[in-house]
Amino acid sequence: LQRRAARSERLAAVGQLAAGLAHELRNPLASMSGSVELLAAQLEDPAAQRLFGIVLRESDRLNRLVTDFLGFAGTAPTNLGAVELASVAGEVLTLVGADPAAAGFARTAELEPASALADEGQVRQVVWNLVRNAVEASSSDGEIRVTTGTRKGQAFVRVEDRGAGIHPELLERIFDPFFTTKDRGTGLGLATVHRIVDGLGGHLEVDSVVGEGTRFTVVLPAFPQQVG
Ligand code: ADP
Ligand code: MG
């Protein structure tokens, strides 16, 4: 047991170091992409413009990686309390509605009151990652349904899409850090979701049919805690 404790302390230390590094990368990255954007606007040579386009695209990719990694590294619940899943889910849906990539989407919300014992920032991160994936798996006229409620003394939030679905062979890999099937993915979204939900003492269910769609259900301890 002692050895295990030492190991997880060591892992936590490495995680902190990596998160510190990721944090430090953000500012220089932002200045670089800002400068390149300004420079690119002054170029007339198409070949040079193309090269600047590559620099911009790649710094965008680094930025996404750093942001997602920071989300992944900081997954210890710091602020446990009553979290109203319906209001968090409603907020995330509103945010997603403002995203041009999801402009043509039908968004359905069936939000029953459901209070979880959780960390609100973390729950927002979980729902945001699931909804982003649902948008990315769907065509431009996709349909996304978010449901919240209680079940057997637990609180749940469910995100469903009618997108591409997930091949059964891939199902066990989708939670691995850096596993992605997307050109511009980081593969850190579901790894983050998994770690957060584990840390909160909840669990995740996935149902997916290729060509029909995917449903992720996050089950969390209810607030107030059920006794017995
Ligand atoms: P990323 O979104 O950066 O690829 P994630 O960890 O969020 O990383 O997701 C990992 C992979 O799981 C995705 O690349 C995709 O193949 C699959 N996936 C996740 N959510 C869905 C979904 N709603 N529909 C279809 N595939 C999904
Ligand atoms: Mg994702």
State the angle between helix axes of 46-73 and 2-41 in degrees (0 to 180), rounded to the nearest 10. Answer: 150
Do 33 and 60 contact (CB within 8 A), yes or no?
A: yes
pTM score: 0.87
- The tokens describing 226, both together, are 């059920």
Ligand 1: which residue has its CA nearest to atom 20? 133
Q: Which residues pair with 4 in a beta bridge?
A: none
Alpha helix positions (H), 74-204: 85-97, 120-137, 189-199
Give the contacts of 116 (CB within 8 A, at least 6 positions apart): 82, 83, 85, 123, 155, 200, 202, 220, 221, 222, 223
Number of H helices, E strands in the chain: 5, 7
With residue 51 as reference, give the H or E element that holds it: helix 46-73
Per DSSP, the three-state class of 227 is coil
Does any ligand 1 atom lie closer than 6 A to the CB of residue 133? Answer: yes
Ligand 1: which residue has its CA nearest to atom 12? 174
Determine the distance separating the centroid of ligand 2 and the alpha carbon of 183, expressed in angstroms: 12
Per-residue pLDDT tens digits of the chain, which is 228 residues long:
666 677 767 767 777 788 888 889 988 999 998 998 898 889 899 999 899 989 999 998 999 999 888 888 877 788 899 999 999 999 999 998 888 878 888 889 999 999 999 999 999 999 999 999 999 999 888 899 999 999 999 999 999 999 999 999 999 999 999 999 999 899 999 999 999 999 999 999 999 999 999 999 999 999 987 665
Does any ligand 1 atom lie closer than 6 A to the CB of residue 184? Answer: no
Ligand 1: which residue has its CA nearest to atom 25? 165
Check residue 101 and give its pLDDT.
79
For residue 78, the number of C-alpha atoms closer than 13 Å in the C-beta half-sphere is: 4
This complex has an ipTM of 0.99
Check residue 157 and give its pLDDT.
98
CA distance 222 to 178: 31
